[in-house]
């Protein structure tokens, strides 16, 4: 119930210094970074998250009170997506052969560590929307409603996407573990 407590103190506290931003930073820094990295490259993700918090600094606390997480992830996502688009555009402008940036594209982004576990690979290979929703839910701790808001989807759509994501990962894990057995049998 720690998240519930956080909710309540968020709602009640009237803080007079920038402390609330720093608390948000501690709480969401890693989560936002992981989320941003699933959209853009590692370097840009840091830009995006820093930008998100700098924007938070400009908000009166009362404006984000009670929905801080949704606010942060929405801004973070918007920044990441526009970053992604401008990156692609700049590439198009710089040279005509559209070589994907070595550090761009959701698939490579997420794979930072060379040896990914089965689950890691399964997450990485999810369609973009499913991966985003999954991270928002399981890492960000957002409710369906909040995810719907961040991703501009309906709540029931979120439920469906998450269900698909879970099933996809489940199948991926199952098939992976099944694969060596099949291979053995065939040889």
Partner 1 sequence: MSTEQEDVKLTAYALGELSAEDAATLERELAESPERQGELQAITATLDAVREEVKKDDAALSARRREQIETAAQRSDADDAPEAGADPGAKLEPKVVPFTPKRSRRGRLIGAVFAASAAAAAAAGVFLVQSAEHRGLSEHSESAGYKKLPSKFKSPAQAPAPTTAASAASVADDQPGDGKEDLAREKGQDPGRFNRERYDHVVDNAFVRVSTDPRSTFSVDVDTASYALTRRHLNDGQLPPKGAVRIEEMVNYFQYEYPEPTGPHPFSVSSDVASAPWAPEHRLVRIGLKGKHVPPRDVPGTNLVFLIDVSGSMSDENKLPLLKRSFGLLVDQLGAEDSVAIVVYAGASGLVLPATPGNQKQTILSALERLDAGGSTNGGEGIRLAYAEAKKRFVPGGINRVLLATDGDFNVGTTSESELVDLIEAKAKSGVFLSVLGLGGGNYNDSTLEKLADKGNGNYAYIDTLREARKVLVEQATGTLMTIAKDVKIQVEFNPTEVEAFRLIGYENRVLAHQDFNDDKKDAGEIGADHTVTALYEVVPRGGAVPGPKGDELKYQAPRAPSPAAAAGELMTVKLRYKQPAGDVSQLLEVAVRDGRGTMQNANADFRFAAAVAGFGMLLRESPYKGSSSFEQVLGLAGNTNASEARSEFLALVRRAAQLKRSAN
Q: Scanning residues 98 to 117, which ones bind partner 1 (CB under 8 A)? A: 112-113, 117
**Rounded to the nearest whole angstrom, what is the least distance from the CB of residue 175 to partner 1 in the complex?**
13
**Rounded to the nearest whole angstrom, what is the least distance from the CB of residue 184 to partner 1 in the complex?**
24
User: CA 105 → CA 4, 45, 88, 94, 164, distances in Å?
Assistant: 35, 12, 10, 18, 22
According to the binding rule CB under 8 A, does residue 65 interact with partner 1?
A: yes
Of 123, 130, 132, 136, the one binding partner 1 by CB under 8 A: 123
**Rounded to the nearest whole angstrom, what is the least distance from the CB of residue 183 to partner 1 in the complex?**
23
Stretch that binds partner 1, among 87-95, 100-108, 178-186 (CB under 8 A): 87-95
Task: Write out the binding residues for partner 1, residues 10-29 only, by CB under 8 A.
Answer: 11, 16-19, 21-22, 25, 29
Of 74, 103, 125, 176, the one binding partner 1 by CB under 8 A: 74
- 6-43 burial, b if ≥16 CB within 10 A, otherwise e? eeeebeeeeeeeeebbebbbebbeebbbbbbbbbbbee
Question: In a 10 Å sphere around its CB, with 0-12 CB exposed, 13-18 middle and 19+ buried, how is residue 83 labelled?
Answer: buried
Task: Write out the binding residues for partner 1, residues 132-161 only, by CB under 8 A.
Answer: 134-135, 137-139, 141-146, 148-149, 152-155, 159-160
């Amino acid at each position: 119930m720690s998240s519930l407590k956080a909710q309540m103190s968020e709602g009640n506290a009237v803080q007079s210094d920038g402390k609330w931003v720093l608390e948000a930073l501690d709480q969401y820094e890693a989560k936002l970074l992981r989320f941003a990295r699933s959209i853009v490259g590692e370097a840009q993700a840091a830009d995006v998250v820093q930008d998100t918090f700098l924007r938070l600094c400009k908000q009166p606390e009362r404006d984000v009170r009670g929905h801080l997480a949704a606010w942060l992830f929405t801004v973070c996502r918007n920044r990441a997506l526009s970053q992604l688009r401008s990156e692609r555009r700049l590439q198009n402008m710089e040279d005509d052969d559209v070589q994907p940036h070595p550090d761009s594209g959701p698939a490579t982004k997420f794979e930072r560590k060379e040896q990914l576990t089965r689950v890691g690979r399964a997450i990485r290979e999810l369609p973009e929307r499913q991966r985003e929703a999954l991270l928002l839910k399981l890492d960000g701790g957002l409710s369906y409603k909040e995810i719907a808001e961040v991703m501009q989807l309906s709540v029931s759509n979120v439920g469906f996407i998450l269900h698909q994501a879970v099933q996809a990962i489940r199948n991926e894990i199952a098939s992976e573990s099944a694969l060596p057995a099949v291979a053995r049998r065939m040889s």
